[in-house]
C-alpha cells in the first residue's frame, strides 16, 4: 500500500497542472487544487474476455486499470468478472466513500475512511479485492449480500426486490467539479415482471458531511420502485417523520470490521413520494409511489473510525434529527 501522502500529492499535481490562470499564493493554490470530492470509473487494460469457471465471461490477463469518464458496460460484465476496478463507480469526500456494483446486483457499498484525503484512485490497485482487508486509509465496511446495500434501488414485486438482472444497456459517467462529484447511470430497457422501463440515476456527493443525494427518473410509472438499508440481525430499525420528510435508520455492530465496530446508516425520503415503508427479506424498504417525476432521497453511512466522526448512538440520531429539520425547512441538505 502506497503512502496516502503520495496519493494526495498526485491528486494535487493533477489538478494543479490544469490551472494556468493568474499566480496565486501556495495557500490559495492548495485550497483551489486539492479536490474536496471525487468520483471515478476505472476499467482493466490489456486483457481479454474468456470463459470463466462459474459459467460466465471473465476479463483475464489485465495489466493495469485506466480511469475513464464514461462507460457502456460490456454485455459480458457481471459480478466478479474482474473488469471494473472495485466493480463499479466510486465517489467520496473527506469523510466517507461509496461504490455501486455496476452489474445485476446494483447495490451501494460503503468505504469507511480513516483519513481525510481522497483515496479511491488507489483502492483495489494492489490486488483486485484488497479493499476488504484493513488498510491505513480504511476499508470496505459493509456486507451488502443480497440486499440493495445503503441507498441502492430496485423494484419490490411480490415481497421480493428485483435487482437489475435484465437490462439491455447500462451507461455510466462521472463528473467532478469544485462543488460536487456525481455519478450518472442510464439503464435502458430494465425488465421486471411484465414491465420494461428506462431509468436515469444521479448520485451526488458534496464536500461537507457524509450523505449522497440520489435522484431517480423512471421513464414510466411503475409500482414498487424502492430503496432501503440492508438488514442485520439484532439491529433494530429506527424511523422518524417530520412535516415533509422522514428517515429510516440503523445503528450498531453492522460492519465487516469487528464484532464491536459501530456504523450508522440512514435514508431520508419525502413523505409525499412514499407509497409505504415496510420490511423486505434483506432490506428495510422505502417504496415510492408510481411517477415519472424525479424521485429524490438522501442516504448516508457514519462509521465510528472516521476521523472526528460520530461515535455514539445518541450523537448519530441527534445528527439525523438536525438533518430532518433542515430538510423540512429548506427541502435540501
Mean pLDDT, to the nearest integer, of 263-267? 98
- For 159-218, write each residue's pLDDT tens digit: 999 999 999 999 999 999 999 999 999 999 999 999 999 999 999 999 999 999 999 999
Strand pairing of 225-230 and 150-157?
A: antiparallel
Question: Cα dihedral sign for 316, 322, 327, 330?
Answer: negative
Residue 83 to residue 193: CA distance in whole angstroms: 29
pTM, rounded to two decimals: 0.90
Quote the pLDDT of residue 88: 97
Residue 99 to residue 131: CA distance in whole angstroms: 12
Residue 214 to residue 225: CA distance in whole angstroms: 13
pLDDT band at 130 (very low <50, low <70, confident <90, very high): confident
Ranges 31-45, 235-249, 273-287: which has the least confidence: 31-45
- For 27-49, write each residue's pLDDT tens digit: 443 445 688 999 999 999 999 99
Quote the pLDDT of residue 20: 37
User: What is the average pLDDT score of the chain?
Assistant: 91
Amino acid at each position: 500500500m502506497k503512502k496516502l501522502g503520495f496519493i494526495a500529492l498526485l491528486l494535487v499535481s493533477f489538478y494543479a497542472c490544469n490551472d494556468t490562470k493568474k499566480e496565486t499564493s501556495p495557500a490559495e493554490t492548495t485550497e483551489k487544487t486539492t479536490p474536496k470530492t471525487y468520483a471515478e470509473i476505472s476499467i482493466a487494460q490489456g486483457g481479454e474476455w474468456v470463459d470463466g469457471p462459474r459459467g460466465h465471461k471473465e476479463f483475464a490477463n489485465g495489466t493495469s486499470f485506466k480511469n475513464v469518464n464514461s462507460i457502456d458496460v460490456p454485455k459480458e460484465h457481471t459480478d466478479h468478472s474482474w473488469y471494473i476496478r472495485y466493480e463499479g463507480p466510486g465517489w467520496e469526500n473527506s469523510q466517507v466513500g461509496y461504490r455501486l456494483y455496476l452489474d445485476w446486483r446494483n447495490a451501494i457499498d460503503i468505504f469507511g475512511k480513516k483519513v481525510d484525503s481522497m483515496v479511491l484512485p488507489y483502492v483495489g490497485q494492489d490486488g483486485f479485492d484488497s479493499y476488504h482487508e484493513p488498510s491505513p486509509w480504511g476499508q470496505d465496511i459493509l456486507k451488502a449480500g443480497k440486499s440493495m446495500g445503503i441507498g441502492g434501488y430496485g423494484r419490490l414485486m411480490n415481497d421480493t426486490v428485483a435487482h437489475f438482472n435484465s437490462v439491455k444497456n447500462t451507461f455510466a459517467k462521472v463528473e467532478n467539479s469544485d462543488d460536487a462529484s456525481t455519478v450518472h447511470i442510464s439503464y435502458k430497457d430494465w425488465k421486471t415482471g411484465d414491465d420494461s422501463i428506462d431509468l436515469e440515476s444521479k448520485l451526488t456527493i458534496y464536500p461537507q458531511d457524509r450523505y449522497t443525494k440520489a435522484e431517480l427518473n423512471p421513464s414510466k410509472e411503475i409500482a414498487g420502485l424502492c430503496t432501503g438499508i440492508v438488514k442485520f440481525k439484532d439491529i433494530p430499525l429506527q424511523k422518524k417523520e417530520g412535516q415533509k420528510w422522514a428517515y429510516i435508520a440503523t445503528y450498531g455492530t453492522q460492519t465487516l470490521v469487528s464484532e464491536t465496530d459501530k456504523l450508522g446508516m440512514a435514508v431520508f425520503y419525502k413523505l409525499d413520494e412514499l407509497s409505504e415503508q415496510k420490511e423486505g427479506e434483506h432490506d428495510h424498504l422505502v417504496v415510492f409511489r408510481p411517477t415519472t417525476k424525479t424521485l429524490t432521497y438522501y442516504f448516508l453511512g457514519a462509521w465510528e473510525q472516521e476521523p472526528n466522526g460520530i461515535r455514539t448512538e445518541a450523537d448519530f440520531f441527534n445528527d439525523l434529527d438536525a438533518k430532518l429539520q433542515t430538510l423540512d425547512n429548506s427541502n435540501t441538505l
